[in-house]
Amino acid sequence: MASRPRIMALIVAAGSGSRAGNEVPKQFRFVRGVPMIRHSYSAFAAHPDIAGVYLAIGAGQEAKTTAALADLPTPHMVDGGATRRESVYNGLKAIAASSGADFVLIHDAARPFLSAHIIDGLIDALLSAPGAVPALPIVDSLARGDGTLSETIERENLWRIQTPQAFHFDAIYHAHRNWSGEEPTDDARMLMAEGQEVRIIPGDEALAKFTFASDFAGSDMTPTFRSGTGFDVHRLVPDEELWLCGIRIPHEMGLSGHSDADVAMHALTDAILGAMALGDIGDHFPPSDAQWRGASSDRFLGHAIKLARERGYELGNADITIICEAPKIGPHKDNMRARLAEILAVDVSQISVKATTTEALGFTGRGEGIAAQAVATFEKISR
């Protein structure tokens, strides 16, 4: 049986993004809540047929790139060049010098919304051709003119070429090594100059390229609202203090846990982390780490809200429900709301604390523990 081809991806992300009208290079600007480069990198890293992902980046962009791709597989970073072609060539040389490849998919970071079906289509095309590109047919009328219309151009067989562009590695590497013409518009043009065939597969409107400042405008680029939920349970035991929503509650028993076991604050912390798609409290403060033994849960909640604000979001409201038979929560709700508002640096009107029982059913009904659930909603703010 024939072996599977070894496939590498190369993302070109070395530009300054000057046309995008922002001092932050566009590959690091936030699009739908994360740096733009993270979108296409995630798509390649998650695809089962892609053996590795290389990034051609600009000078001094290593730290920004690492931060943008936090929690994802470590990329192979390559120094970009003065032009796109030089950046691609540097990436191809790096692939050749390491593990090599049978196929390579070359992609622009400025096209963030890459889907698995595009990757699949390109790989399938390479089984019978040395090159392939996604493309969309031209549907608008085309004409030449300088202030007034003149010649109409027949749009049949005209295409909008996108990336990734896919190639047999040896073929495109040879084309780059031997290129001596003017600066090419894309890699497919270089392969065609050597008399090689480049197939067209159906493109995707979602692969639109971000070029100008206006491309980043509009609420569709970053979700205006995000929400998350949290749920937590802790056992009631003798000889422990009872902390709920950052308030010490007089009671004959307290909650058992690695930290102060503030079940309500833990649920709210998870809701905030969930809204930002950043895992849960255990990912950030593992109970196996001794430094968190007995820790005050306001540290966890403060960390979560800080992460949300770093991503450009502000809390709209938080709603917590505490589930227990005892103690009575009603007399403490105002103090709980005030304490949570203080930790989160929001107005108390944005915080709701409620309580209910389970009508003597289950572990909470038997007084064995306390549960809490929380919902947090965030609104995008200008960056």
Q: Please tell me the chain's helix, strand, coil percentages from 3-state DSSP, rounded to the nearest 5.
A: 35, 30, 40
Q: What's the pLDDT at 29?
A: 87
The H or E element containing residue 368 is none
Do the domain assignments include residue 200?
A: yes
Name the nearest CA neighbour of 274 among 236, 307, 250, 246: 307
Do the domain assignments include residue 2?
A: no
Please indicate, yes or no, whether residues 208 and 63 belong to a single structural domain of this protein: yes
CA 140/CA 309 separation, integer angstroms: 42
**Residue 364 identity:** T
CA 200/CA 341 separation, integer angstroms: 56
Residue 43's alpha-carbon distances to 80, 147, 310, 359, in angstroms, are 21, 43, 24, 48
Please indicate, yes or no, whether residues 92 and 235 belong to a single structural domain of this protein: no
* Total number of domains in the chain: 2
Do the domain assignments include residue 1?
A: no
Q: What's the pLDDT at 21?
A: 45
Do the domain assignments include residue 113?
A: yes
Q: What's the pLDDT at 140?
A: 84
Do the domain assignments include residue 142?
A: yes
Q: Which two tokens stand for residue 120?
A: 């699949």
Name the nearest CA neighbour of 203 among 143, 139, 129, 153: 139
Do the domain assignments include residue 171?
A: yes
Please indicate, yes or no, whether residues 231 and 205 belong to a single structural domain of this protein: no
pTM of the model: 0.60
Please indicate, yes or no, whether residues 44 and 186 belong to a single structural domain of this protein: yes
Do the domain assignments include residue 116?
A: yes
CA 281/CA 267 separation, integer angstroms: 9
Please indicate, yes or no, whether residues 63 and 135 belong to a single structural domain of this protein: yes
Residue 99's alpha-carbon distances to 6, 95, 169, 306, in angstroms, are 9, 6, 12, 40
CA 73/CA 69 separation, integer angstroms: 8
Please indicate, yes or no, whether residues 269 and 300 belong to a single structural domain of this protein: yes
CATH number at residue 335: 3.30.1330.50
Q: Give the range of the structural domain holding residue 360, as residue numbers without chain letter.
A: 225-380
The one-digit pLDDT tens for each residue of the chain (383 residues) are: 356 899 999 999 987 655 444 567 888 888 877 889 999 999 999 999 999 999 999 999 999 999 999 888 888 999 999 999 999 999 999 999 998 999 999 999 999 989 999 999 999 999 999 999 999 998 888 888 888 888 888 888 889 999 999 999 999 999 999 998 888 989 999 999 999 999 999 999 889 888 777 666 653 455 678 999 999 999 999 989 999 999 999 999 999 887 889 999 999 999 999 999 999 988 888 877 777 676 888 999 999 999 998 887 899 999 999 999 999 999 999 999 999 999 998 899 999 999 999 999 999 999 999 999 999 999 876 44
Please indicate, yes or no, whether residues 272 and 295 belong to a single structural domain of this protein: yes
Q: Which two tokens stand for residue 312?
A: 């450009």
- For residue 357, the tally of other CB atoms under 10 A from its CB is 14
